[in-house]
Structure 1
Amino acid sequence: MYQLKTKETENSVIEFIESVENPKKREDAYKLLDIFTETTGYKAKMWGPSIIGFGSYHYKYESGHEGDAPLVGFSPRKAKISLYFATDDTTRADLLKDFGKHTTGKACVYINKISDIDVDVLKALINQSVAFLNDMYPNPRN
């Protein structure tokens, strides 16, 4: 049986951010913590060893696989900062046009530093993700 790796933990968000070696990345992590907290209204929680998540929802796929995940989040990784959003592809593409310097993966948006991006677009991506997931999974755990 599949075991979900990324679960909410009781680990300290501040301790995790303090463990980030690069001082500029650590500073950006604190800025992101403020932006995500202010924008979502949710308290930051650690998900797994390295994702800082905000809010949560319960999902269940047709395959029967189910679990909990943060509505939005970020992780200040060594190479880049990973931002986690869930929006429809069209909305995401439209918002990312004006986002600034970034790359994308299937579910993540990667940035080098906050000064590379438009913070207002970041807030729009956060709000869009929260709304999208609350519509898709109307029984949030928040």
Structure 2
Amino acid sequence: MYEPKMKENDNSVIEFIESVDSLKKREDAYKLLDIFTETTGFPAKMWGPSMIGFGAYHYKYESGHEGDAPLVGFSPRKAKISLYFATGDIEREMLLRDFGKHTAGKACVYINKVDDIHVDVLQALITQSITFLRKTYPEAKIQ
């Protein structure tokens, strides 16, 4: 049976941030920790070995695949900082136009540093993602 790598665990968020090699990335991780915590109202939790997630929801696709995921999150990786938001919403794409210096994949938005982005737009992206997931999975238990 498939066992997802990205599961919520009891590892310490602070210990994980302190293990980041780059001082600048650690500083940015603490800034993001404050922004995400304040904006979501959820405590930070580790998901898998390297993702800091906020809130959680249970999803189930038409294919039958289901699981749990954080509502939003981030990870201070070596190359860039990964930000995790819900996909599939046109509002996300519109917000990203005013976000600042970034690149985007399907589920991730990548930044070099917090100083490259507009924090007010980051807060709007966080809020938009949670709103979108609540609408998309109304039966899901959002925590």
TM-score above 0.5, yes or no: yes
- Any idea what the Cα deviations from partners look like across 1:82-127, whole Å, max 9, x if unmatched? 0000043421110011100000111000000000000000000000
Query: Structure 1 vs Structure 2: percent identity of aligned residues?
Result: 77
Give the conservation status (yes or no) of the 8 Å contact 1:87–1:128. no
TM (normalized to structure 2)? 0.96
Secondary structure, aligned partner of 2:7: coil
Measured at CA, do residues 124 and 42 of structure 1 come closer, stay the same or move farther in structure 2, by a change above 3 Å? same
* Partner residue, 2:73: 73
Give the conservation status (yes or no) of the 8 Å contact 1:58–1:141. yes
* Partner residue, 2:56: 56
Q: Take 2:131 and 2:87, find their aligned partners in 1: how far apart are those partners?
A: 9
RMSD over aligned Cα atoms: 0.9
Give the conservation status (yes or no) of the 8 Å contact 1:134–1:140. no
Q: Take 2:63 and 2:2, find their aligned partners in 1: how far apart are those partners?
A: 12
Secondary structure, aligned partner of 1:36: helix
The CA deviation at 1:141 is: 3.9
Query: Partner amino acid for 1:19?
Result: S
Tell me, yes or no, if structure 1 residue 3 matches structure 2 residue 6. Answer: no
* Partner residue, 2:25: 25
* Partner residue, 1:140: 141
**Structure 2: segments with no counterpart, 5+ residues:** none
The CA deviation at 1:48 is: 0.1
Give the conservation status (yes or no) of the 8 Å contact 1:54–1:73. yes
TM (normalized to structure 1)? 0.97
Listed as ranges, the matches of 1:86-105 within 5 Å are 86-105=86-105
Q: Take 2:134 and 2:92, find their aligned partners in 1: how far apart are those partners?
A: 16
Listed as ranges, the matches of 1:89-128 within 5 Å are 89-128=89-128
**Number of residues of Structure 1 aligned to a counterpart in Structure 2:** 142
